Structure 1
Amino acid sequence: MIEKSTGTKVEEAQTAALQLAKISDEDRSNALHAIADSIAARQDEILEANEMDVREAKDLLAAGEYSQALVDRLKLSPSKLENITEMVRSVASQDDPLGKTQTARELDENLELYKCTVPIGVIGTIFESRPDALVQIAALGLKSGNAVILKGGSEASHSNRILFEVIQEATAEMPTGWSQLIEARADVDTLLEMDDSIDLLMPRGSSEFVRYIQDNTSIAVLGHTEGICHVYVDDKADLSMATEIAYDAKVQYPAVCNAVETLLVHENVAADFLPKIAERYIEADIEMRGDEASRAIVEMEQASRDDWTTEYGDLVISVKIVSSLEEAIDHITTYGSKHTESIVTEDSDRASFFMRSLDSASVFHNASTRFSDGYRYGLGAEVGISTGKIHARGPVGLEGLTTYQYYLEGDGQVVGTYSGTDAKQFTHEDYEESWNPGSLFER
């Protein structure tokens, strides 16, 4: 079988996107349930393919070329596949994001303007290490009526191929080419040049890689760089609660972008709090790196300036004692990546000040940073987390994969009627009504 070129795959995706936008939500959702069923039915094949990737990754880990965090993100298990199928079904159960009337406005009698949600079109995604990302992106693309170009990392090639095959077979009734898998590293540069065919790029990887994508294409890019997340333990915190939050935010899954990387502690509670959380971290094999004040209370490695700007994605956390709420905010503003921050405090005024003072996509009060996730936000899943401010922010779910069109329903009106000394006046009256093609003629 002759492998299609990247250009051909993108052209097929363009054609499929136009067709997919017209397919009913019921059919798109049924296809998603078919994907979930197929993943469950072919679990053994998927795990076998994944084990090949993991074995190769462990060899490269031993050679010092891969990190443990990458291997952790790569590995699938029966429980993880179950979570993936649950995620796909959750996406299927979401309300249809397409065809929603955002505004309805009468410009004049029988001249009505509607602003309605539509798919973006063709979305190129480039991700590394996590094969579950392929399923998330494909599921959200299908539900939102977008064609997707999937470029996974070579470290997950066996996993990506079998998962893509499962998706293709389960969605045979969908437009041909709605999902495309590309594998060669050189294909990325080809994608970057296709600004007339690809509507949005969503890279998921290292900060250097995301910046490379942003610097080498004129296509709109939606993505984030580092996930340098913070938990600040205020002097008004419940320290038992703070211990559980700081533990969960680091230990529950250290390899992901919403895991905490820096723990900030108010000096008034540091002597009581740090020994408690250090005991828990030691049990979980977490390496602590602290400033001088922290190391005076608990034995830990010396933190350098680089630690404040490092996304470890591993069993490491940096610790700093601060003298005030304002100093905590200044530290996060200086060193953070605008991803997710959390304050632990029983003082609602201080919590409000903290939350309104930061420019991060998600800011929490008395909750683990690990809640910063599309599935946990009730979005079904996410294609990534955006730390930018344009179009979509935070976990990007179905809403972030839509744009809008204006539809104008008229009855023979011309602009000349509204010009000159005897011009008619626009009414510009907003009202609650959903767009229905030809609705003027059905009244």
Structure 2
Amino acid sequence: MASTSSGPSAPSAVPEPSPELLSRAGAVRRAAMALGQCSDGQRRQALLAMAQGLEHSADAIVAANRADLEAAAAEQLAPALVARLLLDDSKLTGAIEGVRQLAELADPIGRRQLHTELDAGLVLERVTVPLGVVGVIFEARPDALIQIASLAIRSGNGALLKGGSEASGSCAAIFAALQQGLGASAVDPAALALLTSRQESLGMLQLDGLVDLIIPRGSNELVRFIQDHTRIPVLGHADGVCHLLVDRSVDQQQALRIAIDSKTQYSAACNAIETLLVHQDVAAAFLPAAISAFSAAGVELRGCPRACAHGVAIAASDDDWGREFSDRILAVKVVEHLEAALEHIARHGSRHTDAICTTDAEAAGRFLSAVDSAGVYLNCSTRFADGFRYGFGAEVGISTQTLPPRGPVGLEGLVTYRYRLRGEGHIAADYASGQRHFSHRSLPL
């Protein structure tokens, strides 16, 4: 989701937060402070209680989602949005299991990252602590509410959560279940708040001092708008323009399986490929088989002139390079060599996830070191760019910035650190005068 940014001022077009929103945000802030003091066991137990609450309300959640899907069909929403909106029994079961798995992960809070004796009796340490309060705005994907809420509680953070209007019924049912679960735990349910209107989500953008980080999950337009209308740091990616390069030295059958999976396993996802790059030396052999396989999978191919000469039926426009289709549409380009592919990715990519299929170790090394993306893969599908698949339990989003956190943002992306210094009456003047000297001796973590 593209960079952590903080604008100089919030434009006047964004309304001031209402007194009610200020009150709710203040309550989340207070609850988050208490949550940060909860033990690892208390936060683990809270997640297990949240999972149980979701299970008890599973029928109501699925029914609410079905109503949201019916409304989406009546309004003729984009197919990609509808695909993200779906939350059936299977998907809900997987999301609940994800909450339980998250509870079993190591505690991200209280980890000592640095331990140094500056001088006898003067000891410095750096320890991980929660961020405080995160504000998350997401389109469709009601299961994102489950992931984000559980990540927030596990990492000791409060959260203001705003789903898209198309998922309003699903989000309300999920939130009620999560609150019911938290009510049976040591964690104050006020640590989570669900925003339900556009006015509230706009007002949240001006809650600097109450909200420490905003994470948008949705369209390019949503992310850009938020980045331009808040003073609060923003973490996210505006585009998911992922590439797969089929190199000259390649297992073509393996490459085709990877290409199909990278595009069709879930075409609406931000880690699905939008452009297939094919080395000219294998284009004549690879593309006919790829065209047949993609056609059978219902994927529309749009090619450069050389790709069209090998059978791609539709000519790509200039706008198709660097475009996030979020659908079963794929741009195809034949490249002269590896360097041309690297140049294309640098120009049109979004620094999300890019992959190469090759049996050439030198080409693989060049690609993995030269592509400046959050995820750079060799001989595997771009669909692995996911917090759950990385073993993070879940993710609040994917960051394509160069500063950390980068890639799927799980628990470790929701903590910061604090320096603690313990002394015995030490003063700086003694060191400035030369009476005392620093030892800077490393101590065990």
Bucket of the pairwise TM-score, normalised by the shorter protein: over 0.9
Instruction: State yes or no: 1:207 paired with 2:238.
Output: no
> What pairs with 1:2-401 in structure 2 (closer than 5 Å)?
5-61=20-76, 66-172=77-183, 173=185, 174-401=187-414
Distance in 2 (alpha carbons) for counterparts of 1:375 and 1:176: 25
Distance in 1 (alpha carbons) for counterparts of 2:31 and 2:436: 43
Distance in 1 (alpha carbons) for counterparts of 2:383 and 2:153: 26
- Conservation of the 8 A alpha-carbon contact between 1:231 and 1:263: yes
Question: So what's the TM-score if we normalise by structure 2?
Answer: 0.94
Deviations 1:143-171 (A, max 9, x none): 00000000110000000000000100101
**Paired AA for residue 46 in structure 2:** A
Instruction: State yes or no: 1:414 paired with 2:434.
Output: no
Instruction: State yes or no: 1:432 paired with 2:444.
Output: yes
Deviations 1:10-49 (A, max 9, x none): 1011101110011011111111112222222322111100
Distance in 1 (alpha carbons) for counterparts of 2:127 and 2:332: 48
Deviations 1:395-415 (A, max 9, x none): 000000000001112222222
Distance in 2 (alpha carbons) for counterparts of 1:25 and 1:257: 33
- How many residues get paired? 426
Distance in 2 (alpha carbons) for counterparts of 1:124 and 1:87: 21
Distance in 2 (alpha carbons) for counterparts of 1:32 and 1:274: 48
**1:4 to partner: Cα distance:** 8.4
- Conservation of the 8 A alpha-carbon contact between 2:179 and 2:189: no
Spell out structure 1 runs of 4+ moving beyond 4 A: none
Distance in 1 (alpha carbons) for counterparts of 2:312 and 2:132: 54
Give the structure 1 partner of residue 5 of structure 2.
none
**1:212 to partner: Cα distance:** 1.0
Distance in 2 (alpha carbons) for counterparts of 1:40 and 1:414: 57
**1:391 to partner: Cα distance:** 3.3
Three-state SS of the structure 2 residue aligned to 1:162 is helix
Deviations 1:31-84 (A, max 9, x none): 1112222222322111100001000101111xxxx2101001001111101110
- Conservation of the 8 A alpha-carbon contact between 1:16 and 1:177: yes
Distance in 2 (alpha carbons) for counterparts of 1:379 and 1:265: 33
**Paired AA for residue 95 in structure 1:** A
- Conservation of the 8 A alpha-carbon contact between 1:137 and 1:383: yes
Distance in 2 (alpha carbons) for counterparts of 1:43 and 1:167: 11
- Conservation of the 8 A alpha-carbon contact between 1:261 and 1:317: yes
Three-state SS of the structure 1 residue aligned to 2:425 is coil
Three-state SS of the structure 1 residue aligned to 2:75 is helix
**1:131 to partner: Cα distance:** 0.2
- Conservation of the 8 A alpha-carbon contact between 1:102 and 1:116: yes
Give the structure 2 partner of residue 436 of structure 1.
none
**1:190 to partner: Cα distance:** 1.0
**Paired AA for residue 155 in structure 2:** S
Distance in 1 (alpha carbons) for counterparts of 2:232 and 2:19: 23
- Conservation of the 8 A alpha-carbon contact between 1:12 and 1:176: no
**1:272 to partner: Cα distance:** 1.0
Distance in 1 (alpha carbons) for counterparts of 2:167 and 2:104: 29
**Paired AA for residue 156 in structure 1:** A
Q: Which runs of 5+ in 1 are unaligned?
A: 434-443
Distance in 2 (alpha carbons) for counterparts of 1:203 and 1:329: 29
Identity %: 45
Report which stretch shifted further, 234-243 or 181-190. 181-190
Three-state SS of the structure 2 residue aligned to 1:424 is coil
Report which stretch shifted further, 184-193 or 126-135. 184-193
**Paired AA for residue 383 in structure 2:** R
Distance in 1 (alpha carbons) for counterparts of 2:257 and 2:55: 34
**Paired AA for residue 269 in structure 1:** V
Distance in 2 (alpha carbons) for counterparts of 1:256 and 1:359: 20
RMSD: 1.2
**Paired AA for residue 418 in structure 1:** Y
Distance in 2 (alpha carbons) for counterparts of 1:130 and 1:282: 28
Three-state SS of the structure 1 residue aligned to 2:327 is coil
Distance in 2 (alpha carbons) for counterparts of 1:23 and 1:4: 29
**1:417 to partner: Cα distance:** 2.0
**Paired AA for residue 426 in structure 1:** F
Asked which structure has the greater RCO (Cα within 8 Å, sep 6+), the reply is 2
Distance in 2 (alpha carbons) for counterparts of 1:157 and 1:431: 52
**1:300 to partner: Cα distance:** 2.0
Distance in 2 (alpha carbons) for counterparts of 1:21 and 1:166: 22
